[in-house]
A and B are shown apart, each in its own frame.
Chain A
């Protein structure tokens, strides 16, 4: 499966709005929301019905059996994550702070501490003729990168579709790195502002090491014409594919609030999105074909017998 990930670095630049439009324009039958901390793609119309929910377990977390605890305090002393709390005479684990390293279990002389699986979220599979995977991370939980990997793997195993679109998380940390792994192309949705450009550059730096071709679009381009030109120049200098621009339009917010899509906004906005989307999808096609011609990924077909 060839995947196109929509990312941005900065939050709120319009990843979900653009991803949703691309899904519709491409007629994609497989898509996922990798923004597991704040998923939104399922709020837009056309999401298939929920079929299955899977529990997601992060690192095992420490658990103190108070009946065995001798109050020696060694666990508190050795925990580097300040996850052992003392309330009066009882030692407790703050599971939000616990990273699951197992040091407390090791140092406990009374064997009062065990490492136990902890449910950190859920993966939701939605399916009819389309396959859509999304997830919910427990608020305050860590290790969201593996949950992203889980989402991507469910999508890959539950459909044989040749292409998929991923709505990515904001930032440049582990969930973004997990989203980037093995995608065929990443589309960066940039915002024409000083902070938008700063985040775009950090995002591009993060994508280094993945060997992934990057395309850029500017959303709300007329908010700041000179910063839009700066992004264009940056794309040019860095050899990134500049796919086009989408204007700032108040009606987009209203359309999305009604569960609609940016494509439902009549006039120049939806025209611009169709044009930009077409350019991105053509580029994606070119990239995936180029990829196939340089590597014999599937190799010769299976022999008989």
Chain B
């Protein structure tokens, strides 16, 4: 399986940290779970003015990735991955290696929506 993660590094290393932001990360690391080989793909969406999420998701899909692990996922990218049947997992650990290990143990939670709709209502609080 090919697993994609946003990172801020230009050479792959298991100690690389997963980037905070998906669409505006500097690069993506794509890891083969069988061979344990990793490659780096430049994120040309990083500095785009409009639709970075759409473009970044397109890059991942064109790389034939099978799954994505990210800290945060925007609405547009989420929609694209959903349509492409690419599962997006929440990065719960700091590094690429730790998250890959958790992925293999099947302990990473799956994103079911990009972010909750509507502002949070407060219940039973005096106003």
Binding site for B on A (CB under 8 A): 58-59, 100, 143, 146, 149, 153, 156, 182, 204, 207-214, 232, 235-236, 238-242, 296-303
Chain A neighbourhood of B93, CB < 8 A:
299-300, 302
CA separation between A131 and B92, bound complex, in Å?
29
Q: Which residue of A lies closest to B47 (CB)?
A: A57
Shortest distance between the CB of A145 and any CB in chain B (Å): 8
CA separation between A232 and B126, bound complex, in Å?
12
Tell me if B115 and A211 are in contact (CB < 8 A).
yes
Chain A neighbourhood of B92, CB < 8 A:
296, 299-300
Interface presence of B58 (CB below 8 A)? no
Tell me if B119 and A58 are in contact (CB < 8 A).
no
Within 8 A of A (CB), among B47-80: 49-50, 71-72, 75
Q: Which residue of B lies closest to A143 (CB)?
A: B49
Across the A-B interface, how many residue pairs have beta carbons closer than 8 Å?
A: 67
Tell me if A302 and B94 are in contact (CB < 8 A).
yes
Chain A neighbourhood of B24, CB < 8 A:
149, 153
Tell me if B119 and A208 are in contact (CB < 8 A).
yes
Please judge, given known A-B contacts A143-B49, A296-B92, A300-B93, whether A210 and B119 are in contact too, CB under 8 Å: yes
Tell me if B122 and A239 are in contact (CB < 8 A).
yes
Please judge, given known A-B contacts A146-B49, A182-B72, A209-B115, whether A301 and B121 are in contact too, CB under 8 Å: no
Binding site for A on B (CB under 8 A): 20, 24, 49-50, 71-72, 75, 91-95, 97-98, 115-123, 125, 127
Tell me if A235 and B127 are in contact (CB < 8 A).
yes
Partner of A241, one of B20, B94, B118, B125: B125
Give 20 A-B contacts (CB < 8 Å), ordered by A residue.
Answer: A143-B50, A182-B72, A204-B119, A211-B118, A211-B120, A212-B119, A213-B120, A238-B121, A240-B119, A240-B122, A241-B125, A241-B127, A296-B92, A299-B91, A300-B98, A301-B94, A302-B95, A303-B95, A303-B97, A303-B98
Shortest distance between the CB of A106 and any CB in chain B (Å): 18
Shortest distance between the CB of B72 and any CB in chain A (Å): 7
Q: Which residue of A lies closest to B101 (CB)?
A: A303
Q: Give 12 A-B pairs besides A209-B115, A210-B115, A302-B95 with Cβ atoms closer than 8 angstroms.
A: A208-B117, A211-B115, A211-B118, A211-B119, A213-B122, A238-B121, A239-B123, A242-B127, A300-B98, A301-B94, A302-B94, A302-B98
Shortest distance between the CB of A108 and any CB in chain B (Å): 22
A-B pairs, 6 with minimum CB distance: A239-B121, A211-B116, A299-B92, A299-B93, A236-B127, A59-B49
CA separation between A146 and B117, bound complex, in Å?
23
Shortest distance between the CB of A171 and any CB in chain B (Å): 18
CA separation between A298 and B92, bound complex, in Å?
7
Interface centre among B98, B118, B120, B123 (most CB of A within 10 A): B120
